[in-house]
Structure 1
Amino acid sequence: DGKQVAILVPTTILAQQHYETFRRRMAPFPVTVEALSRFRSRAEQTQLIDKLGKGEVDIVIGTHRLLQNDVRFQNLGLVIIDEEQRFGVKHKEHLKALRTQVDVLTLTATPIPRTLYMGLTGVRDISMIQTPPEERLPITTHVGTFDERLVRQAVLREMERGGQVFVVHNRVQTINLLREKLERIVPEARIVIGHGQMDERLLENVMMAFGNGEYDILLATSIIESGLDIPNANTLIVDRADLFGMSQLYQLRGRVGRSAQQAYAYFFHPAINRMTDDARMRLETMAEYVDLGSGFQIAMRDLELRGAGDILSTRQTGHIALIGFHLYTQMLSQAVNTLKGEQVAPSTQPVSETAIMIDLPLPAYLPTDWIPEMGLRLQIYRRIGGLDNAQAVEAMRNELRDRFGELPAAVDGLLYQIEVKLAAQAANATAILQRTGRIEIRLPYLVEMKRDLLQLRLGQGIRVTRTAVEIATDSGVWRARLLSVLEMLAEQWQIRSGL
């Protein structure tokens, strides 16, 4: 209908790839496709901007250059934001402000918590592509400390089958030191370096040379994270993976496995005691979710770890413990329904709920083959998240069994985690975390209690420290024991609080 399309991408390399793809696919149609990025000279950019203003360009693909004030559209109708997690809120809202009636489509394998949460609560529509391309295989993922023998084995295996390797090191200052190390470990390999501080033309030449198979290893910073498509590269090695965010790790892993070949990803980290708890959980998540299309589950885990952010401001992550996660969900859903003109019942939930981090060694989700319809799954997730007592959990369990059949282990685990959350709230716990061979219940007020008496009350297989109660998981009854211990701790908390 005569409107223009703007496609926003985070890097010049990705802009060029998309430009070539769009130009090839649109060749049979009377559609003008252009690219606006730093790969174009200043004169070419000025000419292209003039054409945009006159409506002579139908589709423009660009980097942040599209967001500058001198760029004007005659009749912008659709904005497509690729790799959405790489852009700030102000960037995305800028294009929408250019025209009041503009449609926005965001594409990402791992939505940032703010965007995901807006989808879960109804502020935005959300759609998932769950069918992978034919012949794609899940990526074999290894998480561990740096091992030179393993690195050599991985690189040689890839070279022997005619493939190439990405090695990611996110510090430009020390990237040459890693190159020297790789040259010593795998002297047979041809290595080239690429990073964002290089001249644009030089970086383009490096990427093209690697894409043409002139080198075996591309040693790069996280610049390769967004959209780089080299099907012949099927091994990824990430140095100091503990320093990357969840979506970065998933995006990096997505650079390999883009053909029918089996792909491998190695995430190396320092000793466990030198990592933060969040870094450890991020890497455990990457090791756990290896199936094709697991980006949604990873994004949900990221939402749990980082919080949902502020829907009405520019903060894309953040904790909402001041009013509680599920109360926040309820309040936001009520606001959305009110704007839609729907009747909203007043909330009766108290404002005393606090956020509790729960990380247990069991699956906890609604399987897609059990409830195939995504909208219904999200609706049930919201209902489960709002359960506020044990009777409601049991009623939900019976309802799900009646509607969908016997509960899979993952659904049972999800409802169990809600039971644990409610029991932990009653005990005033701040976190329940899995550790090697044990479950740790964090209770800061233990410092002020007579812990030896509490130890006697809780019995064997349980250890009381200054700030936590630890339960051994070497037996098969740790789930029942955890709930039992939380009930006893809730009684102790009530006595201590005089309730």
Structure 2
Amino acid sequence: FQGKFPMFVAQVKDWQRQKYSVIIMTSSKDRGLRLKEGLWDNKIEAVVLPEILSAPVEGQVVITYGKLFSGFEFPAAKLVLVSDSELFGRSKLRRPRKQYDQGLRISDFSEIKPGDYVVHVQHGIGKYLGVINLEVQGVRKDYLHIQYFGQDKVYVPTDNVNLISKYVGAEGHKPKLHRLGTGEWVKTKKKVRESVKELAKDLLNLYAARETIEGFAFNRDTSWQAEFEEAFPFNETKDQVKAITEVKSDMEKSRPMDRLLVGDVGYGKTEVAMRGAFKAVMDNKQVAVLVPTTVLAQQHLRTFKDRFRGVPAKIEVLSRLKTPGEQKKIIAALEQGKVDIIIGTHRLLSKDVRFKDLGLLIIDEEQRFGVAHKERLKQLRQNIDVLTLTATPIPRTLHMALAGARDMSIINTPPENRYPVQTYVVEYSKELVVEAIRRELDRGGQVFYVYNLVSGLERRVSRLQKHLPQARIAIAHGQMPEKQLDKVMVEFIEGEIDILVCTTIIENGLDIGNVNTLIVENADRFGLSQLYQLRGRVGRSNRIAYAYFTYDKRKVLGETAEKRLNAIREFTEFGSGFKLAMRDLEIRGAGNLLGAEQHGHMLDVGFDLYCQLLEDAVRLLKGEPRKAAPGQQDVEIELNISAYVADSYIEEPALKLDVYHQLRDIDNEDELKEFEIELEDRFGQIPREVQNLFLIVQMRLLARRVGIDSIKEFRQEVRISFDKETAVKGNILMTLAKDFPRQLSFSSVGGLVIKLSKGNLSGSELGKRIIEILCRFEELAGARDYLI
């Protein structure tokens, strides 16, 4: 339920109507009491029981305490158990004040599981085996255990989690493990680096050539534009506002716009496009909207006409649903300038279609057009503004790599009042399917029933009609005559059909707010991206939507199929298209932007590193400084302090790893304090070993600010070494020596080193003393100009 309480209340009432007993398990007493209060406010009489000693009565709602990863529904016993994490959202720690405004971070460590392939910047591709706690010279720390070719293995200190990223390749692709101590990984990186350099050169040449072309500069917004935008019945999301501003700003420049707008299906890309279209029409320019299918053309026509109601703009559609006579009339009107906005399929690219004054071309899912169509598009788009829309995710890393080589806007925020799709992966049961469909029809909704064999569709229709005699059922598949298929789809969109029994023909682009239940039979036969796209067809309104991915109970699932179904069940939250272990999707997203020949290079080094190499190449060619690679330009800290997250504090390995990664990401003391409070709130009092981790992070933050390279402990002393560029005035060192009498000495051979005599100090006490010295040094350096 992802913390959406009204949605939970509605579901509990539904369970009560079906005479189910509901048990809710919360992690703390306070949470349980707050939940009880909330349910009573919504007329649900819940009771709190610290222990459940007998079965709850029919329709009773019981709140109890305990930890459970996920709940279950047991229809035979009329019992439902809901876990804390399902109600309040998965137990994933919030990143302190971090915002990734463009694209999505893909290497979230909570997504790395034992058995996953990972890429270490220095050692190459290995298999992650988990977190292991080791004692080295009397000091306990956690290490990431990574296996390489044969018996080779590496234990990576959790301090260096930033050197590791999850290996992301195409679905089903198993990378080769590298041998340690050979030049194999260095050669692979060199080959990919050379390839991306050529790619970066081509991209930048293309970009530079476009900068020199003279196009049409649209006027600034008029009061009509403001009125049109005010009429939008929803609140724009933050990302939408940013994308709209970027599009309009591009249109007002004299160079032609060529912007890619990326966003999950239903995230409001069309509204951005319509505002651009309105701006063009206001300057007496024509707008062409190119879509891949007739069904989508009809859908866009309805959306545009509805949104432009009251605006004196002539909107037409050109597709095979129009008779030859109608098409001829529309084409003639287009050439005479009597049509302002034309929406169409590839028919728009035919030689006989000419415009009087085309100003803006909007392309929906360009990658779905053929080679010949793309060539025609190239001719069309030479000096007009082009906005390309796509729902194929562009990961953040790739977006960063292409910054400056491609204009891109990314919408990651879901619209208001949109709920995640409730996803069930279950054995096929006729009763379950009929009950799910009946529930949807009872609330006036419609259903997609997907079965991917054309020969079995009729049989499914007869079976459903037998159990649901009142339902209006139709069939849709790619082998039907085009006109017949279009007719069925239009009738379904218009609400004249209740259940559409179909193949995966529905997987792309359909946006029908009234369809909120999806049944997929033999889901184990589909690819991950297909399952994700199918699920994206429901949940497009403010109603709760349900997706049932079913498999034959007599069949033993293969390992890949099981992994796929688990992944789709796991990622129910929004924007999970950017996350679904990214696998297939992000490789496809990258392929669309960069071309197929780069695919192999991505598989060689993993997606994250590939993007880093590409970003380096783009920066180099633009004459910008290269970004520091992970692990470079950071303070090296080697102290004999036991600093780790014990199993007794956080048991879940993925969550533990996320803590290490977030500590590594912290940029200032405010974030550190905030994270400490959150950790204590979630897991209780912080043990000493974890406090030591915070101590080391604070030390690193201070050291970074004052130009320190490393802090290392030796037998009798700790050496604090400054980088070679930092030269400090002697009076600061003298004051420091006075403040810490008989503890400090200094050396300037090969750069300044402050030596701290350990005396009786050790462990966290020694760590605190180092922090005191660094704080005082920063204070003195801030009070006077300390750099010579």
TM-score for both structures, normalised by structure 2: 0.41
Partner of 1:217: 499
Q: Deviations over 1:243-301 (max 9, x none)?
A: 44444433322322233332111112357854462x44443332122223433323834
CA distance in 2, matches of 1:177, 1:73: 49
| Aligned residues of 1:141 and 1:265 also touching (Cα < 8 A) | yes
| Post-superposition offset of 1:105 | 2.8
Query: Structure 1 residues 168 and 201 mapped into 2: Cα distance closer, same or farther (>3 Å)?
Result: same
What is the DSSP-based 3-state SS (H/G/I as helix, E as strand, rest coil) of the residue aligned with 2:449? strand
Q: Which of 467, 478, 482 lines up with 1:196 in the alignment? A: 478
Give the percent of matched residue pairs that are identical in Structure 1 and Structure 2.
51
One of 327, 330, 336 as aligned partner of 1:45: 327
Call closer, same or farther: CA 1:119–1:175 in 2, change over 3 Å.
farther
- Structural mapping, 1:36-435, within 5 Å: 36-83=318-365, 86-87=368-369, 91=373, 94-111=376-393, 117=398, 121-122=402-403, 123-184=405-466, 186-187=468-469, 189-270=471-552, 273-275=556-558, 277=560, 279-298=561-580, 300-303=582-585, 308-309=590-591, 311-314=593-596, 320-338=602-620, 340-344=622-626, 362=654, 396-397=664-665, 399=667, 403=671, 405-406=674-675
Please tell me whether the aligned partners of residues 167 and 218 of structure 1 are also in contact (alpha carbons under 8 angstroms).
Answer: yes
Matched letter for residue 117 of structure 1: L
Q: Which residue of 1 aligns with 2:25?
A: none
For 1:89 and 1:104, locate their aligned partners in 2 and report how far apart those are by CA, in whole Å: 18
Question: Over residues 112-169 of structure 1, what are the superposed CA-to-partner deviations in whole Å (9 max), with x where a residue is unaligned?
Answer: 78x9835664243443434444433222111133222211221121222232211112
CA distance in 2, matches of 1:313, 1:238: 32
Which whole-Å CA distance do the structure 2 matches of 1:361 and 1:148 have between them? 39
Distance (Å, rounded) in 2 between the aligned partners of 1:100 and 1:301 = 35
Counterpart mapping for 1:444-459 below 5 A: none
Give the whole-Å Cα distance in 1 for the aligned partners of 2:490 and 2:327. Answer: 23
Q: What is aligned with 1:21?
A: 303
Higher RCO (Cα < 8 Å, 6 or more apart): 2
* 1:294 counterpart letter in structure 2: S
Structure 1: which 5+ residue stretches go unaligned?
A: 350-359, 368-389, 413-499
1:289–1:37 CA distance, 2 compared to 1 (3 A): same
8 Å contact kept, 2:473–2:499: yes
Amino acid at match of 1:4: Q
In structure 2, relative to structure 1, the CA distance for the partners of 1:313 and 1:157 (3 Å cut) is closer
* Distance in 1 between residues matched to 2:613 and 2:342, nearest whole Å: 39
Structure 1 vs Structure 2 CA RMSD: 4.2
Rg larger for: 2
- The 8 Å contact of residues 241 and 267 in structure 1, kept in 2 or not, is answered as yes
Distance 1:207 1:333, change over 3 A: same
What is the distance in 2 between the residues matched to 1:270 and 1:188?
A: 27
Which deviates further from its counterpart, 187-196 or 312-321? 312-321
Structure 1 residue 72 displacement after superposition? 4.0
In structure 2, what is the Cα distance between the partners aligned to 1:238 and 1:304?
24
> Using a 3 Å threshold, how does the CA distance of structure 1 residues 310 and 29 change in structure 2: closer, same or farther?
closer
- C-alpha distance in 2, partners of 1:87/1:173? 29
- Residue type of the partner of 1:290? T
Q: Deviations over 1:390-426 (max 9, x none)?
A: 9xx79944547765742889xx9xxxxxxxxxxxxxx
Give the paired residue count.
376
Greater mean deviation of Cα atoms: 135-144 or 279-288: 279-288
Distance 1:305 1:131, change over 3 A: closer
Deviations 1:337-389 (A, max 9, x none): 3454534489999xxxxxxxxxx98479999xxxxxxxxxxxxxxxxxxxxxx
Distance across 1 between alignment mates of 2:393 and 2:533: 11
TM-score, normalised relative to structure 1 = 0.62
C-alpha distance in structure 2 between counterparts of 1:17 and 1:103, whole Å? 23
Q: Which amino acid aligns with 1:13?
A: V
User: Secondary structure of 1:150's partner?
Assistant: helix
Cα distance in 2, alignment partners of residues 11 and 364 from structure 1? 47
CA distance in 2, matches of 1:266, 1:291: 16
In the superposition, relative to structure 1, how do residues 301 and 15 fare at CA in structure 2: closer, same or farther (>3 Å)? same
- Distance change in 2, residues 1:312/1:263 (3 Å): closer
| Shift in alpha-carbon separation, 1:225–1:299, aligned structure 2, 3 A | farther
Amino acid at match of 1:295: G
Query: Quick check: 2:507–2:530 contact (8 Å CA) kept in 1?
Result: yes
